[in-house]
Structure 1
Amino acid sequence: MSLPVPTMEAPPVGVVGLGQLGGSLAAALVAAGRDVRGWDVDPAAREAAAARGVRVTRELGGVVVLAVPLPAMAAALDGLDVDPAATVTDLGSVKVPVLGSVGAALGGRFVGGHPMAGTERSGHAATDPELFRGARWALCLEPGTELPRWLRAAEVALDAGAEVVPVTAAEHDDAVAAVSHVPHLLAAALAAAAGSAGPLALALAAGSFRDGTRVIGSDPAFVTAMVEGNAGPTAAALARVLAQLERPWPELVSAGHGVRSAQAGEGAGRRAVRVPLDRAALLSLGRAGGAVTRRLAAFVEGWVPEG
């Protein structure tokens, strides 16, 4: 059954962790006119956020966003004064473990999230209010997720300029293993193999090597926590890559080129849709490769790939 949700004034947003992702989200929401508050254990990050219009405080409510590393997620709210009625979401790159820790503690108040954005840079100096513009933002809709809270978290993502992809935590982790976590491992392997080939190889490295190894410039602790936190799906996705490498090379090159070319042309093949505020309908949108672009009173607007 569809569940109409009345339009209400946008609640404040509290961001815990004001590094690249949290700082960028806070800056984007300030630019969108939202009431943004935030906290970080680093005084320099707090000062930088305050200079961008964020109210720095330990008192948070409305929608509280956890923008901290995965190992710190479970204790991210310790020492903070958080409204017990607040909706809590996160930006973590793995969802099942976070759902098992933060989600277990907060129940239906928690909405797992993961914006597919970021660079190999980190820290508050890497803040960019346009970081999420046009990015896909996975937002978990579990059987126990309270739909009005999911919509509040979705509004935060939309106000930051992102497109929302409804998923379950398990679906998310399987998908990002293939398109994010394995690429980090492949980048590491490519860089290590080139390094063992000697200084001449590295001296001749150009665009393809740079593009293929860019993501492994990220903080090694971050990458390790990400792939180990999603070990099962990542191992399965890596096995699929290894199986692909066993194909005849012309066949492999042709197949990969076809997938990449189709992805590059996705913007020309979108069909606009309206989806009721219903868990099954929203998840069907995400599973079809679509996304939500606008929230209205009794439904959302979005798109699915044409055909």
Structure 2
Amino acid sequence: MRSAVVVGTGLIGTSVALALSARGVTVHLRDADPEAAGIAASLGAGTVEAPTAAVDLAVLAVPPALVGSVLADAQAAGIARHYTDVASVKAEPREDVVVLGCDTARYIGGHPMAGGEVSGPTAARADLFEGCTWVLTPTPDTGTETLNTALELVATCGGTPVVMAAAEHDRAVGLVSHAPHVVAALVAKRLAKAGERAVSLAGPGVRDLTRIAGGDPDLWVDILSANAGVVADILEELGSDLGDAVAALRAMAATDEAKRDAGRQCVDALLRQGRSGRRRIAGKHGIRPARYRTLGVMVGDQPGQLARLFADADRSGVNIEDIHLEHSTGRLTGVVRLSVDQRAAPALEDALHSQGWRIQ
């Protein structure tokens, strides 16, 4: 791939453009908002000048509802030899593409499973897709050359390709992305109505649970509207489970011992099933997550503390598998949770103790 057009210079489009430009691909930028395209160009994502001939690939980084019309216009203008998109929903755009009579032999749907709470070109990063799953959804007649060009795009951006049917993709992202976003918003909505003292008690658990609720509402309305039926089905099932949980908790508060025991059993089963489901989420490098031991290290909120901790951990010779930083409410301290192989944990603990670190 030597040249590309990126249509849409938000977070994803600009990140794609930055990744391609960093690897020597000539990238032309288009956006309905010329200012956004100009900002992306100023960041080194490419040029706003129109190409003089058809490029190798056009990447459509537009909302799902616009994929069909933008593809039709781009193909009519002949701006590229091959076309893909990066929309987070695939079935509805596919239907639009067919209805509008687009050349589906030179088009393949795509969805990099990456993003962030902050939108716009200034939030873009060339390494945004490093190690992320990038779903490709070919049409029944997508050509081999178009598929290979899309695979080259994914490899150039550092992603890992996964080929799926469009409907299968939408059911999957409804379960692992779209429905969780609605649930996070519902929990965060309760916080919006809570008193200041209650919210001040919020710790890392509720921060983790509600993190994705900080996403751009306009963007998420577009995403959810394109996958509304799937998400509604999942939330309906979740609502049934929630009703069972409410009934079990009511039973636990009853005066009758038999009801309390039955409620405890139901809640216990729920929590165990939840833990089992959590363990199915792939860990580092996409493999089944290993069991680690986590050491909580108390760290002061002063410059250089994290650098010193990591340097001391490095000298221990123990590989850090995961890191999580928790801030203490109302205190100038925090806890850095270092996850390591269980067998290596004692060596790391001894090494950090010897350097004066307080470990939980």
State which drifts further: 155-164 or 97-106. 97-106
Which residue of structure 2 lines up, in the alignment, with residue 188 of structure 1? 185
Which residue of structure 1 lines up, in the alignment, with residue 10 of structure 2? 19
The reply to whether residue 54 of structure 1 matches residue 42 of structure 2 is no
Which residue of structure 1 lines up, in the alignment, with residue 211 of structure 2? 214
CA distance in 2: counterparts of 1:53 and 1:177, whole angstroms:
31
What is the letter of the counterpart of residue 29 of structure 1? L
Verify the 8 A CA contact 1:109 1:149 in the aligned structure 2: yes
Per-residue CA distance 1:106-147 (angstroms, 9 max, x = gap): 322221111110001101111111111111011002322223
Which residue of structure 1 lines up, in the alignment, with residue 136 of structure 2? 139
What is the letter of the counterpart of residue 191 of structure 1? A
Specify the structure having the higher radius of gyration (Cα): 2
The reply to whether residue 234 of structure 1 matches residue 231 of structure 2 is yes
Using the size of structure 1 for normalisation, the TM-score is: 0.77
Verify the 8 A CA contact 2:131 2:285 in the aligned structure 1: no
The 3-state SS of whatever aligns with 2:140 is coil
Per-residue CA distance 1:193-238 (angstroms, 9 max, x = gap): 2333433322222212221112121111111111121112111222
The reply to whether residue 75 of structure 1 matches residue 72 of structure 2 is no
Using the size of structure 2 for normalisation, the TM-score is: 0.67
**Alignment gaps of 5+ in structure 2:** 246-265, 289-360
Which residue of structure 2 lines up, in the alignment, with residue 254 of structure 1? 272
Per-residue CA distance 1:67-118 (angstroms, 9 max, x = gap): 0123333333587684266211111111111111135423222211111100
Distance 1:142 1:41, change over 3 A: closer
What is the letter of the counterpart of residue 107 of structure 1? T
The 3-state SS of whatever aligns with 1:55 is coil
What is the letter of the counterpart of residue 125 of structure 2? D
What is the letter of the counterpart of residue 90 of structure 1? D
Verify the 8 A CA contact 1:178 1:238 in the aligned structure 2: no
State which drifts further: 161-170 or 197-206. 197-206
- Identity over aligned residues, as a percent? 36
The reply to whether residue 111 of structure 1 matches residue 129 of structure 2 is no
CA distance in 2: counterparts of 1:84 and 1:34, whole angstroms:
16
Query: What is the total number of aligned residue pairs between the two structures?
Result: 261
CA distance in 2: counterparts of 1:115 and 1:159, whole angstroms:
13
1:32-181 mapped onto 2 (5 Å cutoff): 32-51=23-42, 52-59=44-51, 61-76=55-70, 82-83=77-78, 86-104=81-99, 105-181=102-178
CA distance in 2: counterparts of 1:53 and 1:225, whole angstroms:
25
The 3-state SS of whatever aligns with 1:180 is helix
Distance 1:39 1:78, change over 3 A: farther
Which residue of structure 1 lines up, in the alignment, with residue 357 of structure 2? none
CA distance in 2: counterparts of 1:103 and 1:131, whole angstroms:
31
CA distance in 2: counterparts of 1:11 and 1:123, whole angstroms:
26
What is the letter of the counterpart of residue 62 of structure 1? D
State the 1:263 CA deviation. 2.3
What is the letter of the counterpart of residue 134 of structure 1? G
Verify the 8 A CA contact 1:61 1:83 in the aligned structure 2: no
Verify the 8 A CA contact 1:62 1:83 in the aligned structure 2: no
CA distance in 2: counterparts of 1:167 and 1:264, whole angstroms:
18
Verify the 8 A CA contact 2:107 2:138 in the aligned structure 1: no
Distance 1:128 1:108, change over 3 A: same
Which residue of structure 2 lines up, in the alignment, with residue 287 of structure 1? none
Distance 1:241 1:134, change over 3 A: same
Verify the 8 A CA contact 1:111 1:145 in the aligned structure 2: yes
State which drifts further: 227-236 or 242-251. 242-251
Q: What's the C-alpha RMSD, in Å, of the aligned pairs?
A: 2.3
CA distance in 2: counterparts of 1:193 and 1:54, whole angstroms:
43
Which residue of structure 2 lines up, in the alignment, with residue 30 of structure 1? 21
Distance 1:53 1:237, change over 3 A: closer
